[in-house]
Structure 1
């Protein structure tokens, strides 16, 4: 069943932008927006099953820097290295899906719809088309003009502990419940060895492997990612149902079968651990919480214009 429902500056973004967004923002100026974006996402997924995870991650990485302003889509220019070329974003892909959606939208409604709104809609479609919930996306975001690779250091890292995660989310007006719900997005996606090497090789001075990992799971990760692994694309799926949006991530987390340190960190505080247990036992609780948190996160805005080409400032 579908669920309908840095940086003090980010708090200002939230308080100033929530009221600016509207479900019927393009009701008269671009009534076919949603279906046009959905068509583009469907076509891409048909050819590449990794697209849903890519779009969801892209939207998250966009919102956590300067708000959901499509700054992650901008290309580096001259001496300025853009967000997409920052270390945490090197593995982002499927930008062409947003470009294709934008082209289709421009053909219908020239100069009206922001790339930021298209990315927010595409992330929603990525979840819904993977068997997850759908929701109505508030619209009216503007596109940002600034994109700096140096600012991607603000993104929560896969090695973060619980206090670092909570601080990162709270600076953006997001709660511990939002943290756990949005972490559930790891039900889609793939992790490269470099993101979890810290857990399976030289974990600390006395242990080679993180003791919180299930032994057989740890052994599998070590076989995929040996200590001196040089395979560029080596890694593992983030949960057992890679193409399906469900609560398997939380169930595996409780079994010691999470991939990132930041996943395991959710079990180290009573509040977040209780939420992991709740979402593991109830898919509906997770779906409802995820929708609310996605709407909340995607309401962090900060752009100034409507780009005609998502890759370049107008």
Structure 2
């Protein structure tokens, strides 16, 4: 059996490494969110005695939300890059020039580099804010408790949470540097926007790159959206004991259903009441005035658009005199509102 020779890519470009992008999402979900929430719960448990400490940490969580969203913007930039490169492969399969589409990839890679730099700066901002908050909260608690007494932040679990947050900040910063290098590598490779057209790839190379970029896109697609939810939950966590929302929805649904049923019943009763009226000609209803007789020759049908009751009486002729079934006040007002009005 002949050995398969590896395919050498000479024109097209490999997608960035997925690992640093997905790892940013992973540590946000598994480290930032639970550890910050543990500290929040510890401070809120003693909020009546130390409200200032909770306020300080709320501002810290606000900073983390804002700076963490910059990290997920980096992931969004990577997803956009995959979309742009797919357009390069599309025009290539159509045997059209690729310069314009490859230029879009180059610009997208530069944008990814800028996003990753801003996110690195954001992590530095959060680290300073977090360390300052821990120092201030510790000082507040030391004034409330005797020296040597275990405070909320000196318990084993909370001390470990603080340590893990600081470690995660450092790891996130390193991951952002890797993302920046991935963007920079692709920007360097696509700077010459005519490189593909001057050296057209083989069909095998095109298929291989299409599969690799598709895999990259499928794995990173909408990860940034979930990341934004994580950052929002850091600032506004889900209630620890949420009320039974399903019961409230069920109650609202039942009220709405009864309202619909009553509306349908009102329509049926209204049609029955008009159908039960005797057919009276214009002369009886409005006298002998020729103008009024002309006005009621083609009157507006008050039940137009409603479900028919199946009776055969002509309910276009609406009497103003004579015997009629008793109509409840509300339905009578509705009847008069829908009936045609004539000026004598």
> When the two structures are superposed, what TM-score results if normalisation uses the length of structure 2?
0.19
- Rg larger in structure: 2
| Structure with greater proportional helix content | 2
TM-score by length of 1: 0.20
